[in-house]
Chains A and B, each alone.
Chain A
């Protein structure tokens, strides 16, 4: 059997994977409970346009994805709050529009190659040492901001109107949440890939919600499920030579189904 730890890229993949695994459910719990799950998917597609831009201009695709995704997230939030179009229509606009931009940028740069495939589906091979540092710094920012605004986010998620009467600046906190989602998605790209990021943000939270625990405990369970799935997915995909992102998502789905089956047993 191959010794997994003799490969530097595996170690970098594990480091980046663990960071992403810990951050994704922290954002996911607020998105899922606010019925914003599809924002994760939309922002992921938007980030493809950012990656394409990065490949074209030869700058870090993570950073270009970050910029494009944050700007778009602000646009989505603005369209949603002005209520000139339906919330999910705003998502559809951004999802299809950014895919169109991405394909144009990629065709300009003749970028339809294996490199792109890695960004679409994730691969621990793509993770560079610089990526690990970038991901770690972004993750620290996400955790710091989430900790600072934890109680406001919880209140708004539970009951936005009462939170507003309670003197909480709901609009600013809403904007903050969607920007954090954009950050999390951009930093997750190398590991899990653009097409599967939404799964990492949403599925561990949905699985943990089935356990019917307190808010704080639900976060802890989601973290556990996420971390286990990412680590198990990286090892399994390495030994069986499978797609990392796909393996991680299938493991999370299996855990979700097991919890559902267990909960409906009695």
Chain B
């Protein structure tokens, strides 16, 4: 499981986004984004449809190149970042993947070990144990040999978390993980994320439009609509929220 750094928590900057802008064709998606996330944080990145929240995550992960500005991940410029095994990622489309794909839960979770192993290296018994351990953590161990497509949306989501955990990451990114998942399963899911943050000392970045469900779990909230117009603790969010209804007067 991931290595804890309790002594350095909340001091070290693990993600630094500096003056990032992004345009797609002629339209500006992100404007002068500045965002710093500390080790051990649990940040909810909140925004509506088309607010640019998914784009920002993709830029932080190096999947998209910003039009201007810089991103540093774990102290390294994203262009030369190589430590991908320290990053766990649960993508948005995880819930909308091909349900006919012939892969068992174990095969999916093992993918989390692939990048760590590197080219030309085979999966070992240790990798299988790490995958099993991750499945146990998300309480999906009994589904090891089931096909991923046969599980419910909430169960699939847990498997994708297990895949990210199997990487043994320091930072976990989740993009809209609860879209299309029922309310009570959603609540369990947020409890699991809190566990990842508190027990495993993972830095968690959760992208969502669903502020109500996650607000009581996260430590910080950043609201985004082309630019970040609020970034502070959850308590401050609720004190200020009456002012945030019309962010662009």
Q: Are B102 and A214 closer than 8 Å at their CB atoms?
A: yes
Q: Are A161 and B111 closer than 8 Å at their CB atoms?
A: no
B81 nearest CB neighbor, chain A only: A167
- Complex Cα–Cα for A159 and B163 (A): 12
User: What 5 pairs across the A-B complex have the smallest Cβ distances?
Assistant: A167-B84, A166-B115, A167-B115, A218-B102, A165-B89
Q: Is A213 an interface residue (CB 8 A)?
A: yes
Q: Is B24 an interface residue (CB 8 A)?
A: no
Least distance between A93 CB and chain B CB atoms (Å): 24
Q: Are B102 and A154 closer than 8 Å at their CB atoms?
A: no
Q: Is B221 an interface residue (CB 8 A)?
A: no
Q: Are B101 and A151 closer than 8 Å at their CB atoms?
A: no
Q: Are A158 and B84 closer than 8 Å at their CB atoms?
A: no
A221 nearest CB neighbor, chain B only: B102
By a beta-carbon cutoff of 8 Å, the part of chain A in contact with chain B is 33, 148-149, 151-152, 154-155, 158-159, 161-169, 209, 212-218
* Residues of the A chain whose Cβ atoms lie less than 8 Å from the Cβ of B62: 165
Residues of B56-107 whose CB lies within 8 A of A: 61-63, 82, 84-85, 87, 89, 91, 93-94, 97-98, 100-104, 107
Residue pairs across A and B with Cβ atoms less than 8 A apart, 22 shown, are A33-B101, A154-B103, A158-B103, A158-B108, A158-B111, A159-B91, A162-B89, A162-B111, A163-B114, A163-B115, A164-B63, A165-B61, A165-B62, A165-B63, A166-B89, A167-B82, A169-B119, A212-B147, A212-B149, A214-B104, A214-B147, A215-B103
- Complex Cα–Cα for A218 and B103 (A): 9
Q: Is B123 an interface residue (CB 8 A)?
A: yes
Residues of B214-246 whose CB lies within 8 A of A: none
- Complex Cα–Cα for A161 and B116 (A): 16
A150 nearest CB neighbor, chain B only: B122
Chain B interface residue count: which class? 35 or more
* Residues of the B chain whose Cβ atoms lie less than 8 Å from the Cβ of A168: 114-115
- Complex Cα–Cα for A168 and B113 (A): 11
Q: Are B91 and A154 closer than 8 Å at their CB atoms?
A: no
Q: Is B136 an interface residue (CB 8 A)?
A: no
- Complex Cα–Cα for A141 and B87 (A): 34
Least distance between B138 CB and chain A CB atoms (Å): 16
- Complex Cα–Cα for A165 and B114 (A): 11
Most buried by A among B94, B114, B147: B114
By a beta-carbon cutoff of 8 Å, the part of chain B in contact with chain A is 61-63, 82, 84-85, 87, 89, 91, 93-94, 97-98, 100-104, 107-108, 111-112, 114-117, 119-120, 122-123, 145, 147, 149, 163, 167, 173
Query: Contacts A154-B107, A214-B103, A215-B102 known; A166 to B97 CB distance under 8 Å?
Result: no
Q: Are A151 and B123 closer than 8 Å at their CB atoms?
A: yes
B92 nearest CB neighbor, chain A only: A161
Among B87, B104, B114, contact of A155 (Cβ-Cβ < 8 Å): B114
Among A149, A158, A216, contact of B119 (Cβ-Cβ < 8 Å): A149
* Residues of the A chain whose Cβ atoms lie less than 8 Å from the Cβ of B82: 167
Q: Are B93 and A161 closer than 8 Å at their CB atoms?
A: yes
Query: Contacts A159-B91, A161-B93, A212-B147 known; A166 to B104 CB distance under 8 Å?
Result: no
* Residues of the B chain whose Cβ atoms lie less than 8 Å from the Cβ of A155: 111, 114-115
* Residues of the B chain whose Cβ atoms lie less than 8 Å from the Cβ of A33: 98, 101-102
- Complex Cα–Cα for A46 and B18 (A): 48
Q: Are A166 and B103 closer than 8 Å at their CB atoms?
A: no
* Residues of the B chain whose Cβ atoms lie less than 8 Å from the Cβ of A152: 114, 119
Most buried by B among A213, A215, A218: A215
